Chain A
Amino acid sequence: MNSKVETLIATGIPAGKVGMWWFLASEITVFGGLIASYIVVRLGSPGWSEAGARLNFSLGLVNTFVLLTSSLTMVLAFKAVGEKDPKGLRTYLGFTILLGLTFLTIKAFEYGGEFVRGYTPAAGIFWSFYYGMTGLHALHVFAGVVVNAIVLIAALGEILKPHEHRVELAGLYWHFVDIVWIFLFPLLYLT
């Protein structure tokens, strides 16, 4: 592929960016549908707060800070591209990947604790939603880590130069994943 992939469409917006927003629009319906269903089912039946109180609140809170910080490092990687700072780009992308992996490790540890206590996806409707929503979100975090790793490898090999807009596209996806968690955390852990 060459830099022609960044062709402007008639509106003056790069095609890659429009494509990414189309993709994110489809993702909004996926997570939005899940979240809307969760809220409606929860409003229609009692006992959900008790189930939610059994979650590991501390780990959920730590993961919230981890993901928010990863959004900062991701946008700083994008800023480094504009400032022609390849070292900064590699450093911030590396931190973003590390924070993504930290999030997944904490989530796996949290799942393990819940399984040991018998709170499996079959333990009730709350737990089905909990594992469904956080599991799908974790898969998205994993996908983001893979994409960022591919961009980082390209940056390390000095072959990213004609495709630096990919840092912005990877960032759009990463921030979207952060926004999903911004809603999942209060829905599951705080209410």
Chain B
Amino acid sequence: MAVDTGHRPDYFRVWVWLVLLVIVSTSASLVLPKSAALLLIFTVALVKALLVALNYMHLKYEKPLLYALAAAPLLIVVILFFALFPDFVFHR
């Protein structure tokens, strides 16, 4: 079977965005107050991850099954986080 490369985003443009976002988060860590910097840095990291997953891994052209495969373990990680959170953060 032939490889389906029918859907092609502008890969170079996505790379430029990724590089710009690295510069944004790096600058934020140097310039902004800590809490604002943290918020921006992790928002930017999430956006970068989505850019790679949607465009380079072509998730935006895939069927829901693959979204479910990617989302299920993320849900498990979130559950793990909130299960561990009270024990470590509030137990002094």
Q: Chain A interface (Cβ within 8 Å of chain B)? A: 3, 6, 8, 11-14, 17-18, 21-22, 24-26, 28-29, 32-33, 35-37, 39-41, 43-44, 61, 64-65, 68-69, 71-72, 74-76, 78-79, 81-83, 164-165, 167-168, 171-172, 175-176, 178-179, 182-183, 185-186, 190-191
- On whether A25 and B69 interact (CB within 8 A), knowing A182-B49, A190-B41, the answer reads yes
By a beta-carbon cutoff of 8 Å, the part of chain B in contact with chain A is 1-6, 8, 11-12, 14-15, 18-19, 22, 25-26, 29, 37-38, 41-42, 44-45, 48-49, 52-53, 55-57, 62-63, 65-66, 69-70, 72-74, 76-78, 80-81, 84-85, 88-89, 91
| Residues of chain B within 8 A of A182, CB atoms compared | 45, 48-49, 52
Which residues from chain A contact B76 at a C-beta distance below 8 Å?
A: 29, 32
- CB atoms of A21 and B66 under 8 A apart: yes
Tell me the nearest residue of chain A to B38, going by C-beta.
A191
- B5: chain A residues at CB < 8 Å are 78-79, 81-83
Choice from B2, B19, B70, B88 contacting A40 with Cβ under 8 Å: B88
B3 touches A11 (CB 8 A): no
Residues of chain A with a CB closer than 8 A to B25's CB:
186, 190
8 Å CB contact of B3 from A36, A44, A81, A179: A81
Q: With A61-B26, A171-B56, A175-B57 in contact, is A14–B65 under 8 Å at CB?
A: no
12 A-B interface contacts by CB (under 8 A): A36-B80, A37-B84, A40-B89, A41-B88, A71-B56, A72-B11, A72-B56, A79-B8, A81-B5, A83-B5, A175-B52, A186-B45
Which A residues lie within 8 Å of B1 (CB)? 3, 6, 8, 14, 165
Contact A175 B65 (CB under 8 A): no
When the two chains form their complex, are residues A186 and B42 in contact, meaning their CB atoms are under 8 A apart? yes
Q: Which residues of B contact A176 (CB under 8 A)?
A: 57
Interface of A is mostly: helix
Q: Given A175-B53, A182-B45, list of 10 further CB < 8 A pairs?
A: A40-B85, A44-B88, A69-B15, A78-B5, A79-B5, A164-B3, A168-B3, A175-B57, A186-B42, A191-B29
CB distance from A33 to the nearest CB of B (A): 6
**Which single member of A13, A39, A167, A183 contacts B65 (CB below 8 Å)?**
A13
B8 to chain A, nearest CB (A): 6
